[in-house]
Structure 1
Amino acid sequence: MSNSYFSFKQFHVAQDKCAMKVCTDACLFGAFIAQYISNHSANAIADIGTGTGLLSLMMAQKNASIIHAYEIDEQAAMQANENFSASKWHQRLTVIKGNVLLLKPATTYEWIVCNPPFYEKSLKSPNSSKNIAMHSEQLRLPDLLPLCHQYLTQKGRFALLLPYNQTTSFIAMAHQNHFYLEYKLDVKPSPKHHFFRTICIFSKQPTPTLLEENLTIKELSNAYSEPFKALLKDYYQFL
């Protein structure tokens, strides 16, 4: 699908109700994973911690898969359901409300996608919804690994967005739990900045080769880079 069916402008309006923002790195993650999955077989995808549904909507635009969006926060789940209902892919999108660690999977999935909470040791907000979204109170990175074993098919994969400084330790943890790194994309905001995010894709099956790449979001001129524009052109109205 090459046309811009999904509008971030519309999504911003919906998210204002929950005081949540659409972050550039989350958009990049969604666009990249939607494209990557489109090159592989996927009948069913789980979006763990969907928030208001950004990643699920981006994947639905590029793939014909059934997508189950798991969310523990009631307000975010309600907003995700509204966003899904307003989209042209609503028949393939389902919100599953509850703690994914306590639920039985609705099915097994070829893919799990997760943008987990980053700020495990950061100061917390007085807003409990923000704490759930931004801190690892309900879902910690080590919890993802047994969850993925339970929810994935035998040939399944999972993808997640990580802070760059947590990537090495998580890869080692994943390997200890019999997941194999298939792809790694390190991301930096601009050429003058250090890497700050990493997109990782893991498989249950050993992978013959590991593909490692990097991407810069903006050039020194502050214009978006060509690789970033190529990924986001179907989602950003102004690219």
Structure 2
Amino acid sequence: MSKPFKFKEFTLHQDRCAMKVGTDGVLLGAWVPIDGAVDSILDIGTGTGVIALMSAQRSNAEVIDALEIDADAYEQAVENFEASSWGDRLFCYHASFQEFMAEIDDQYDLLISNPPFYREDYKTSDTKRDMARFEDALPFEHLLVGASKLLSDQGKFAVIVPYKEEERIIDLASQVTLFPLKITRVKGTLTSEVKRSLLLFDREKKTPEIDELIIENARHEYTKSYIDLTKDFYLKM
């Protein structure tokens, strides 16, 4: 059984979630810019609920909604929300993004997604983990079309993707008039290859701010920038 993951201000039970708490979700939840103008947030594919809970800790947004298609993960996210200090602001929908998009008329100031993004052809015998990990459940095309519909006029959309997909995603986004505002490329160490891209989109075309984040100087020796980013959440930072 998977142990609960304890953060400084909340605990996540994750024994019924196919995708456990990982660096990608925490990185995205800590990195996404949230200012006082953000009053409504949607976390697409919430899993354990980690990004929605981080958003609640970081903001005064009145509405923080989350979406989860897997029944067990949905129930677990609801329990994690209710056990937190921000239960009155957090709500989870049990639906696919496609269903949600078709039924909801509301718009959000901020959309955040740590989406499934393994486009390779292999599958494992664990269907639930595959659904959480593979892009078929939620292709980027659907995610971007939906984001364009659900974003308020000044709204922003934040996502983490494999670096090798960055160009394709930016191109797809431009087709639904969403443009990169900020791009942070993530490397494990100074000498390793760029592995992930953190992308923030909005409706206005500007020159994006581009930077790089390195996670470790050496094994378990974190960089100052990574510590500064995550220290409000991780117990040991």
Q: Given the two structures, how large is their TM-score scaled by the length of structure 1?
A: 0.90
Q: How does 1:55-94 map to 2 (within 5 A)?
A: 55-65=51-61, 66-94=63-91
Name structure 2 gaps, 5 residues minimum: 1-6
Q: How does 1:90-169 map to 2 (within 5 A)?
A: 90-103=87-100, 104-105=103-104, 107-169=106-168
- The SS at the match of 1:124 is coil
Shift, 1:40, TM fit:
5.1
Q: Which whole-Å deviations, capped at 9, do the CAs of 1:105-131 have from their partners, x for residues lacking one?
A: 262101110111111224212222111
Q: How does 1:207-218 map to 2 (within 5 A)?
A: 207=206, 209-218=207-216
Shift, 1:16, TM fit:
2.5
- The SS at the match of 1:137 is helix
Q: Which residue of the partner structure matches residue 4 of structure 2?
A: none
Contact 1:6 1:58 in 2 (8 A): no
Note closer, same or farther for the CA distance 1:40–1:121 as it changes in structure 2 (3 Å cut): farther
Matched, 1:45 2:48: no
- The SS at the match of 1:27 is helix
Q: C-alpha separation between the residues in 2 aligned to 1:221 and 1:86?
A: 34
Contact 1:46 1:109 in 2 (8 A): yes
| Higher strand fraction (1 or 2) | 2
Q: Name which of 5, 9, 13 aligns with 1:6.
A: 9
Q: Which whole-Å deviations, capped at 9, do the CAs of 1:37-70 have from their partners, x for residues lacking one?
A: 1x35111111111111010011110011111101
- The SS at the match of 2:226 is helix
- The SS at the match of 2:194 is coil
More deviation, 214-223/53-62: 214-223
Name structure 1 gaps, 5 residues minimum: none
Q: Given the two structures, how large is their TM-score scaled by the length of structure 2?
A: 0.91
Q: C-alpha separation between the residues in 1 aligned to 2:179 and 2:117?
A: 22
Matched, 1:238 2:209: no
Shift, 1:178, TM fit:
1.1
The percent of aligned pairs where both chains have the same amino acid is: 32
Q: Which residue of the partner structure matches residue 177 of structure 2?
A: 178
Please list every run of at least 4 consecutive aligned residues from structure 1 whose deviation after the TM superposition is greater than 4 angstroms: none
Q: C-alpha separation between the residues in 1 aligned to 2:166 and 2:84?
A: 34
Shift, 1:216, TM fit:
0.3
Q: C-alpha separation between the residues in 2 aligned to 1:222 and 1:51?
A: 26
Shift, 1:206, TM fit:
2.7
- The SS at the match of 1:158 is strand
CA-based RMSD: 1.5
Q: Which residue of the partner structure matches residue 3 of structure 2?
A: none
More deviation, 215-224/188-197: 215-224
Contact 1:49 1:71 in 2 (8 A): yes
